[in-house]
Amino acid sequence: MSKREEHCRESVTLFGAPFEEVHRWLDEFAGAPRYGMRHRRVRHHEAGIQEAIRLFGAAAGPVARQHILSDLKQEGWTEHDPFPQNEAHYVRMGLF
């Protein structure tokens, strides 16, 4: 199962729908030559959540946050760490 499928399944469980367009948008740069798996620095932060809300509506906010939390935890982030605010903060935190 792909990571996007995992995110969609989690969204169905938590939010009642897969929100595939939100997950696709968040991971749009995955594997791109410039970023590879470091694509998360682009949208996996508070500024990315706000952009997802602007693009997809208010319901996308919690979905995007859950997607990001799931991915951050894979990188060793815990709830005791600050939530990344933007790309520069994400990088400064060493999460890229």
Instruction: Render each residue's pLDDT in the chain as its tens digit; 96 residues.
Output: 679 999 999 999 999 999 999 999 999 999 999 987 789 999 999 999 999 999 999 999 999 999 999 999 988 999 999 999 999 999 999 987
CB burial readout 50-73, b (16+ within 10 A) else e? ebbbeebeeebbebbebbbeebbe
Where in the sequence is the domain holding 7, given as residue range(s)?
3-92
Number of domains in the chain: 1
User: By C-alpha distance, which of 46, 78, 75, 80 is closest to 61?
Assistant: 46
Total-model pTM: 0.93
Q: Quote the CA–CA distance of 67 and 55 in Å, as a whole number.
A: 16
Amino acid at 93: M
If 0-12 CB within 10 Å is exposed, 13-18 middle and 19+ buried, where does residue 11 land?
buried
Question: Which single residue is written with the structure tokens 């990001």?
Answer: 68
